[in-house]
Structure 1
Amino acid sequence: MSVIRVALVDDQALFRAGIRMLVSSQPDLEFVGEAGDGREGIAMASEQRPDVVLMDIRMPVLDGIESTRGILADAAQRGGRQPRVIVLTTFDLDEGAARAIRAGASGFLLKDTDPEFLLAAIRTVHAGTSVIAASATRELFEHFGDVVAEAPSEFESLTGREREIFLLAARGLSNSEIARREYLSEATVKTHVSRILGKLGLRDRVQLVVFAYEHRLV
């Protein structure tokens, strides 16, 4: 059984202790390091090379957004596998979570999420799938403000079918749910989603959600 190496960057010592105990209780997870601010987080991740980093947004010295950028850039510079970053936020309406996703995070969760869901999220992002706090998705991305960028020309390159699937994915439907709704196979939906991400220059479905709400496409 492969073990997932997990690290935490958060300025609250009590929260760090709780997460350390939770992660360490799992046979397939190993807690490999922690840091109290974003700058320490970059150094810790460079030394410990975790598979998944749990990242607070609001911290002294350097916030979680810049720390995420730094951790991913350091890993890319070394030529190694970049860790997956899950942003942890206290607030339902937190624009910082969306900014962190644009900086390279693989998703975000609220800090009061159930422990079992957090553990599942760690395993999910390590497997290559993104996670997002469903309870806050619409409220978060509708809270960006009044400045709305026009959809880039790449969006016009999507076929009619791809636009339909884009909108369903942006609303949080899974491949299986889209397949049932559109009377398609899951493999066909997966192919469409991959093409959509490629045409729009997006990394994953979480960035697709951000893209959709930023440009008011849903």
Structure 2
Amino acid sequence: VVTALKRGADGYLLKDMEPEDLLKALQQAAAGEMVLSEALTPVLAASLRANRATSDRDISQLTPRERDILKLIAQGLPNKMIARRLDITESTVKVHVKHMLKKMKLKSRVEAAVWVHQERVF
């Protein structure tokens, strides 16, 4: 799972999903969202713990808007919902996410969310 995500996979689903959940996940993926089975959270967290680079991750380097978006990503909100909540366009959210991930040396929204929870950033 971790290797697939590191190599650019936009999600990872397990075979035992209910058909309704699978359909919903595929729609989310088609909309450009990262899609992962909830059962993978412990796997990702363990991987992050093993490969921490927290000294490179200083939240103070983020703009206030990037911090707001990171907080909402950690709450599990997709770009569309973040855009609505912050009254900005979805493409603006995507730009902020891209910059935030680069600054924090994170590979994905999921990794960002796990990092926030693991480090108790907010």
What band does the TM-score fall into relative to the shorter chain? 0.5 to 0.7
CA distance in 1, matches of 2:121, 2:88: 23
What do you get for the CA RMSD once the two structures are aligned?
Answer: 3.5
Which structure has the bigger radius of gyration? Answer: 1
Report % sequence identity.
38
Paired AA for residue 208 in structure 1: A
Q: Deviation at 1:211?
A: 1.7
Q: Deviation at 1:169?
A: 0.9
Check the 8 A contact 1:107/1:206 in 2, yes or no. Answer: no
Alignment match of 2:103 (pick from 177, 189, 199) = 199
Q: Please tell me whether residue 115 in structure 1 is matched to residue 1 in structure 2.
A: no
Higher helix share: 2
Check the 8 A contact 1:102/1:207 in 2, yes or no. Answer: no
Q: Deviation at 1:130?
A: 2.1
Paired AA for residue 170 in structure 1: A
Alignment match of 1:187 (pick from 82, 88, 91) = 91
Report how many residues are paired: 116
The 3-state SS of whatever aligns with 1:189 is helix
Q: Deviation at 1:197?
A: 0.9
Q: Please tell me whether residue 213 in structure 1 is matched to residue 117 in structure 2.
A: yes
Q: Deviation at 1:217?
A: 2.2
CA distance in 2, matches of 1:123, 1:196: 25
Alignment of 1:1-218 (within 5 A): 69=3, 85=4, 106-109=10-13, 112-118=16-22, 121=25, 129-133=33-37, 140=42, 151-152=54-55, 153-218=57-122
Q: Structure 1 188/123 Cα, relative in aligned 2: closer, same or farther at 3 Å?
A: closer
Q: Structure 1 203/125 Cα, relative in aligned 2: closer, same or farther at 3 Å?
A: farther
Higher strand share: 1
CA distance in 2, matches of 1:158, 1:190: 15
Which blocks of at least 5 consecutive residues in structure 2 are unaligned? none
Check the 8 A contact 1:150/1:215 in 2, yes or no. Answer: no
Q: Structure 1 182/126 Cα, relative in aligned 2: closer, same or farther at 3 Å?
A: closer
Structure number with greater CO (CA < 8 Å, separation at least 6) is: 2
Deviations 1:141-194 (A, max 9, x none): 9x86xx8x7954432211112111101011111112111111212222111111
Q: Tell me the TM-score normalized by structure 1.
A: 0.41
Which blocks of at least 5 consecutive residues in structure 1 are unaligned? 1-64, 70-84, 86-100
